[in-house]
Structure 1
Amino acid sequence: MKTQTIHINNQTFILHPSGVIYWREKDMVLVADVHLGKVTHFRKHGSAVPHGAIDDNFIQLDAVLEYFNPKTLCFLGDLFHSYLNTEWILFEQWIGKIDAKVVLVAGNHDVISPLKFEELDIHVTNEWLIDEVLLTHHPESRSGFFNFSGHIHPGVQLKGMGKQTLTVPCFFKKKDQLILPAFGTFTGKHTIKPQKEDQVFAITPEEVIPLLFN
């Protein structure tokens, strides 16, 4: 497993191949766009999505928590794709087994009542300011803060020698913000067009790879 470490405002952030970021000084994992319930939602409407995809999100989350063992787990929005369905029961069971404090920075898909999350001892907020860091769902530029967010589901297109192309998820860093890739299974990607001054970190199942653009 090959991660990448970056430093922002004298803080240390570890980019993990799962698409999460570990903030070392705060002992916190940031994860965006899990979209729990999406598989069940699409299966209900006739899409041929493998049932096993439901378990994949929880398996990956468990792997991240085992790797970093963080004090805090912060979801940067779109934790759930839509309204309550059977995956909520699985989520309740999963939350009951973890030790980390859980915070949800609500996204546009988070339409489930905050009261349901609070019953599970999950704090819900629209944004979270920590020192000079701003945690949101939608990317935002705010003077004096570095922003971590999700929402975009960034992906980058790689081109091979034989004109082959492949789009993979990525971390997308600009001067004052970093957008995390979507964590969830069956979430899709939005192909970004980075500028020369941007930084892009492509992810594979085992590696985070810095890319250079001219």
Structure 2
Amino acid sequence: CGAGAAGHLYGPSRSISATPARLLPAAAEPVAAEYSDTEDPAEAMAALPDLGPTGLKNKPRVVVLGSGRAACRFLKDVDTSVYDVVCVSPRNHMVFTPLLASTYVGTLEFRSVVEPVSRIQPALATRLGSYFFLANCTGIDTRKHEVYCTVAAGDEQLPTNPYRFRVAYDKLVIASGAEPLTFNIKGVQENAIFLREVNEAQQIRRKLLTNLMLLAPHHCL
């Protein structure tokens, strides 16, 4: 639906305050450009499977982008009797990052430092109208109150082409975190392991074990 139709559907009862256009002057352009290489953007957007706008008889929908500590703190406290909750994140768990350093040395098991999002907020797995999407947010249209998501290709169980969809929201929480700082030090991005995810801790553990195995024959001599 267009901006006018979206405004009519949501109405003043939803207490929506639109983000000023100057904060996101071209919110829709990157999304449209994503589909312009092979097909007409309007046709591509119309063909997307969506989670459409909520009706006046439905609970307002809160969309949360991310599954880090900030996002999960919000998900834990949100009143699901008042709101439907949708979480969009490329991982389905929260990581206790301060404990990651203990996992690659064997003090803690990797499963001990993660918590599934559906356990933090059970409504995501048990209530109709609340959903978790394992996907990346690739665009936001604040005028239409929509977020655009993509399931990345590469997994053997996923189709070759990226799977795209959109989710309408009444309230939007952006808690996607930030990229680690490299302070413009040459070679850090290419060679360092930043230790923010479980797979990064596993990489460090594999490197430690490999180095110990390579060292053992020389040590015996």
TM-score (norm 1): 0.27
* Larger-Rg structure: 2
**More helix per residue: 1 or 2?**
2
Structure having the larger proportion of residues in strand: 1
